[in-house]
Structure 1
């Protein structure tokens, strides 16, 4: 293996919050930063947070611009960029992009194309999990085009089913299928959605767990085979398979369950010699207590902040250092200690503040933010890209406005700190989900920790709002 070159200049092939997050980490490492932006983002904050920024995709749509591999690499070459960080979404799980970076002699901050093909594709990742003796749910392979074959495969796994995209995440393309009557329409809708979101229409069917808890393990691996976990996050608070609140650690896990879970995740990624940051995701059946692997996200996650708060490890900095050849286990080199020296301190949770209107079936709202006041105080962290007075929220991108992360010594105190922070926000000019988040955090089921992934969809009183 060739020794990686020191990173002097880094391009972020992404936008908004995650681009700014990576720029900040790189700047603290004294690395110059390059931004790219679609023409619809010409006034976006991330453009001005980089040391230099360039428009891409002048003749492309707002989403396609950030998927234009050739244009991104053209900017990287012209600016003498050493490395590219893909963020999350867009090209972050695209092995062709990772390969194109390496072919251009530019470091890709993430796993290798080969690992991405093995684990970024959920069907392939399931196969690797089985080889590593990690329990998986019954599922099909990629669905064929033939409708009769699709019916036969669905019958073999057994209803109810969950339709999933083979590539990508974020709940895109997911559909619950309760009976054969819903099967073909759901598959066709899911295929269209995944093609739009990820550029691939490949989908598969997985056995559905009705009462599930969704837990993921944060992992970091270096170029020399060293892999550690940074414990788990509970991502069970979801609406229509989209994560809303994430917590660390997962309160329902015993120490023994936590150790088994984390060991399974490490065993899986070690079997493929995983490099850089990744997340192994699992479902716990709340009725049986069984735990099943579902997928690996071979990238940074939106919710990585809660893990950073309880471990004190800057995951994005670790990504950049590891890509530059740093060793996991050498704190001065990578910022990541040996496994037995990685400890948890306190409790953290993250809420996603969005411009969705909960009183109108969560329809995204668009327009200019006429007034903005955020939260502050001890134990509160804000990560945003369009959260400021005068910002224009367009219909082109995800509705995420800002991520709010609260830390405290106890779980209850972290929740109360988050509630206090949310009440401090004042956002005028467009709708947000702030009151919905407050209802979630104050609900007895959330407070006693007995929720599953169906909590939001099955709890109608969460939509009873009082005036702010």
Structure 2
């Protein structure tokens, strides 16, 4: 077994690999960019070496630097994690040439599966079922359009060298083909350095089911059952679960056999995932093989009692697989939710900022004994994260905060545990997707396992409900937190002075204060708090209710509201109050109504950059008359394209940035004049 390995990655996967290595007595070397100097993965490894500047091309994608660091630190092997260099055949070969073990599959297997078109030709020869489509080398736009016409719309365009939803476009008709192809190729070249695409039939209401495979150097190859990854946004997974709901033993065996055929066809070694697209009738087709560990591997670990990273290390060291196919069993049900810094209400745009406060559900350390698992009950809740409170989510890397994984004896129990765990997740400092995930988990469609890749779009009304009025309980908790903070501050500055106690005492009357708050949707609330001997009277829009503080423990408050008791956590960030109560997160901005009189809401950045990024296309010209909704500028941020469209009919007076320019969040991109 290795004595020291280098982890050529960052974030939660680097921390995940380091945890297993530590359990096995293997020392670890971290590499990091300048942006990650204080990152969690740097702290949890035994050694850490600077790679270079923040951009991945100057740090985490510099294979020669990483190999040099491995040699200089005495590492015997390199674990690439996922993303970055994990599926780079040239890097794997360079490791071998330097005398280092690449903890992954052979370079030949990566090359065979690295091109989606070549892989599908290979799978066809191996007897693995394929979706009708074109997977060849011809890339002329007119030829590809003819192939799309032949296949029949809707057609899915996919980057041949891609993954993770990058460089994918669904084309509904022939008229939209050319624009979608151009956008797909731009994103593909930016993300993978290769703009080659393939086209295939876009199935209606398909499920995304993948099979975890594992092979060793002795010729053993097994599958560790399936994961259902159908719930997606922007072709990227949001919720994953294992086993797949409704999977019969016969279908599981058929998909497992097909996955093994795919792995054996390329002489696979190590951990890999064969991804299938499945019809509602049970038929399935090969999509691609990911020649690495998957982000969602924890749900497989949960239901099989295995540590897949340990298996990777043992196989890479030349050991046989820890278990045979007959020894594997499915136990219970597991779910994984990806906690992202993103705004679901704004098209899932990534959010950048500092995690001012971060509270996670209480997690039981995930332990699996020995080489194959102890066979005991898995952890009920597990949190895999690469960030801590105080860390920043930057524009340079994926905006994932954590993976929240739960296990239950069955799917119903796992769903309940996931909903409860999401209720306990608290993030302050940037916009997150926790509330959206909770709605998703509790939605009727997901609870009933009515799954397909369009689940989010089909249930938009439920998952993206209109803004609602702020609950009185949240308003009361924020107001009490504010008043109690004033008391504490007054005691510190005016001890012994009765006039500085901030208790609201008056000689001949009761103090009535109007506290002005504005919620995150721009709605104003002006509750009147009248000070009473043992609390307050809250009055707002004809409602009057007595309020009293029952208990306070730091940021945790218990308040009596009329005849009811409410409990919550109030995190204050400047004049912004984050109230977590009854599983919800409410944001209130405290303000002086006089100071804010006359202010209007901003236009919402409709002609401004939604986040820091690069201009990749300018579709309008100075003086051009455009129609409402017409695309004007395309930006790229975090390897995703974002289109800025005309908010009204009007004229483009000026183009403020050129292709290739970096722009800041909120920067105006065009001067635009609306038609009166």
Question: What pairs with 1:455-466 in structure 2 (closer than 5 Å)?
Answer: 455-461=455-461, 462-464=463-465
Residue 160 of structure 2 corresponds to which residue in structure 1? 166
Residue 14 of structure 1 corresponds to which residue in structure 2? 9
The higher relative CO (CA closer than 8 Å, separation ≥ 6) is in 1
Runs of at least 5 residues in structure 2 that lack an aligned partner in the other structure: 364-378, 469-583, 586-676
The equivalent position to 2:243 in structure 1, one of 239, 246, 249, is 249
Q: Is 1:320 equivalent to 2:327 in the alignment?
A: no
Paired residues of 1:7 and 1:82 also in contact (CA < 8 A): yes
For residue 148 of structure 1, give the secondary structure of its aligned residue in structure 2. helix
What is the distance in 1 between the residues matched to 2:20 and 2:206?
A: 35
* Alpha-carbon distance, 1:227 to partner: 0.4
For residue 164 of structure 2, give the secondary structure of its aligned residue in structure 1. coil
* Alpha-carbon distance, 1:155 to partner: 2.4
Residue 3 of structure 1 corresponds to which residue in structure 2? none
The equivalent position to 2:359 in structure 1, one of 357, 364, 373, is 373
Number of matched pairs: 453
What is the distance in 1 between the residues matched to 2:139 and 2:211?
A: 34
* Alpha-carbon distance, 1:360 to partner: 2.5
Residue 36 of structure 1 corresponds to which residue in structure 2? 31
Residue 333 of structure 1 corresponds to which residue in structure 2? none
Question: What pairs with 1:109-120 in structure 2 (closer than 5 Å)?
Answer: 109-120=103-114
What is the distance in 2 between the residues matched to 1:196 and 1:47?
A: 28
Question: What pairs with 1:113-132 in structure 2 (closer than 5 Å)?
Answer: 113-132=107-126
Residue 440 of structure 2 corresponds to which residue in structure 1? 440
Deviates more, 1:145-154 or 1:213-222: 145-154
Question: What pairs with 1:68-467 in structure 2 (closer than 5 Å)?
Answer: 68-142=62-136, 144-286=138-280, 288-328=281-321, 336-376=322-362, 379-386=380-387, 388-461=388-461, 462-464=463-465, 467=584
Deviations 1:188-209 (A, max 9, x none): 2112212222232222111110
The structure with the largest strand share of the pair is: 2
Runs of at least 5 residues in structure 1 that lack an aligned partner in the other structure: 1-5, 329-335
What is the distance in 2 between the residues matched to 1:55 and 1:144?
A: 42
* Alpha-carbon distance, 1:64 to partner: 4.0
What is the distance in 2 between the residues matched to 1:66 and 1:168?
A: 18
What is the distance in 2 between the residues matched to 1:157 and 1:85?
A: 41
Bigger Rg over Cα:
2
* Alpha-carbon distance, 1:453 to partner: 0.5
Deviations 1:177-221 (A, max 9, x none): 112222222122112212222232222111110210000000110
The structure with the largest helix share of the pair is: 1
Normalising to structure 2: TM-score of the pair? 0.65
Deviations 1:387-428 (A, max 9, x none): x22111111111111000000101100000000000011111
What is the distance in 1 between the residues matched to 2:128 and 2:325?
A: 21
Paired residues of 2:108 and 2:266 also in contact (CA < 8 A): no
Residues 408 and 251 from structure 1, CA distance in 2 versus in 1: closer, same or farther, beyond 3 angstroms?
same
What is the distance in 1 between the residues matched to 2:99 and 2:133?
A: 39
Paired residues of 2:215 and 2:271 also in contact (CA < 8 A): yes
What is the distance in 1 between the residues matched to 2:80 and 2:175?
A: 40
Paired residues of 1:40 and 1:62 also in contact (CA < 8 A): no
Taking only aligned residues, the RMSD between alpha carbons, in angstroms, comes to: 1.5
* Alpha-carbon distance, 1:147 to partner: 2.2
For residue 10 of structure 1, give the secondary structure of its aligned residue in structure 2. strand
Normalising to structure 1: TM-score of the pair? 0.94
What is the distance in 2 between the residues matched to 1:383 and 1:177?
A: 36
* Alpha-carbon distance, 1:74 to partner: 1.4
For residue 177 of structure 2, give the secondary structure of its aligned residue in structure 1. helix
Q: Return structure 1 stretches of 4+ with deviation > 6 angstroms.
A: none
Deviations 1:358-410 (A, max 9, x none): 23322211111111110025600000001x22111111111111000000101
